[in-house]
Amino acid sequence: MFEPPRCPNRDCPRHLALESPARAFYWRVGSYQPRCRDEPVPRFRCKTCRIGFSRQTFRHDYRDRRPQCNKPLFRLLTSGVGLRQSARLLGLGVQSVQKKFCKIARTLTFLHENLSAELPTGGTYVMDEEETFEAASIRPLTMPVVIHRETWLVVAASVGSIRRLAPAGTARRRRQAWDEGDRGRRPDESSACVYEVLLELDRRIEGRLTLQTDKKVSYAAIATGVFGDRLRHETTASTRLRATHNPLFPINTTLAMSRDNCGRLRRKSWLVTKVRERLRAQMALWMVYRNYVRRRFNRDQTDETPARLLGLVPRQLFPEEVVRWRQDWGARSPHPMSLRGDRSIAEGHQKTFGPGLWTPRVVSGL
């Protein structure tokens, strides 16, 4: 029952409209039978630009081998399992899992950007930095994360290198000196990463907001430079007891949850990230899992995810939905809840979720 939502050719007039074009914009030109699917895949041709395409053109698993492994791989990688163990469990080669991981991360990065393009004005957001390392503990990384305080929605995260020198004369300091002599002086990108996540927040909010952080000196200058007079900045000492009454409790708990769900953030383990870009990709998976798939607290109802509580989606998303459709067309991308792929992200924000158009609400069993 698949109906093409639009022409996939970016230069075609049938692609540029935010709402789906008339259903008569294409011809059906048969189908083909892939080895990995039981049902045939229909083919189409646009009447305007004459470009041929199929249903697979709109799917995340376009040109994938073993597409049935995408959903369990997403669940494994957001449950603290590493790439090699995931490959063993799924019966795949580790290089195949690495390629699937990078492709899923790219799709979910676009998915989060599309679904959270606009956030409510006047909210309170909390930001802090989490430290880890790449390959060796003498190469530390910083990962600033900003969340919505009431719903705990993870808005943005970034990854960058930092320089933390051990005391002079220690063995660790000698290792750092040898490493910098071989690789060059390690840059400190903490301020640049904080600026990046605040810029992502600013892109989603037009009005005033409240930002809560610890008392790191650079935060005030960076936040004021991004938001100007729209900002109300509240600070809390990082030495304050990390209990529920601490204003930074939501971000502290969120960072602890990220270490539980992401094996790359576990110190002194084989799973620690070797390349910082892969940690950024892992965070793309975890943000979608945390925001759209997993409920906020264990005491919440099954479908009370941060995104639903903030009004970004009407219910919890399932793993098979977040890895279903391509998301690199912005607001023109098929909505993950669209059963036939004939409703875009823009239409999903405007229309009601009625029967036949969207995946029915069921218990996912997560």
The ranges assigned to domains in the chain are 1-58, 65-116+275-366, 121-272
pLDDT at 363: 34
User: Does the pLDDT of residue 69 top 70, yes or no?
Assistant: yes
Q: What is the mean pLDDT of residues 103-116?
A: 97
Task: Say if residue 182 is exposed, middle or buried (CB neighbours under 10 Å; 0-12, 13-18, 19+).
Answer: exposed
Residue 138 near residue 176 (C-beta atoms within 8 A): yes
Task: Specify the CATH class of 121-272 in words.
Answer: alpha beta
Range of lowest pLDDT (8-12, 71-75, 205-209, 348-352): 348-352
Largest Cα–Cα distance in the chain? 75
Integer Cα distance of 197 and 208 in angstroms: 17
Beta carbons of 326 and 106 less than 8 angstroms apart: no
Give the integer Cα–Cα distance in Å for 330 and 346.
Answer: 9
Cβ-contact 292, 115 below 8 angstroms: yes
What are 187-229's pLDDT values in tens digits? 999 999 999 999 999 999 988 999 999 999 999 999 999 999 9
Which residues lie across from 247 on neighbouring strands? Answer: none
Residue 350 pLDDT level (bands cut at 50, 70, 90) = low
pLDDT tens digits for range 260-283: 999 999 888 888 899 999 999 999
Q: What percent of the chain has pLDDT over 90?
A: 74
Give me 273's structure tokens.
């990230």
What pLDDT, on a 0 to 100 scale, did the predictor assign at position 347?
81
Q: pLDDT tens, 284-308?
A: 999 999 999 999 999 998 889 999 9
Question: 291: burial class by Cβ within 10 Å (0-12, 13-18, 19+)?
Answer: buried
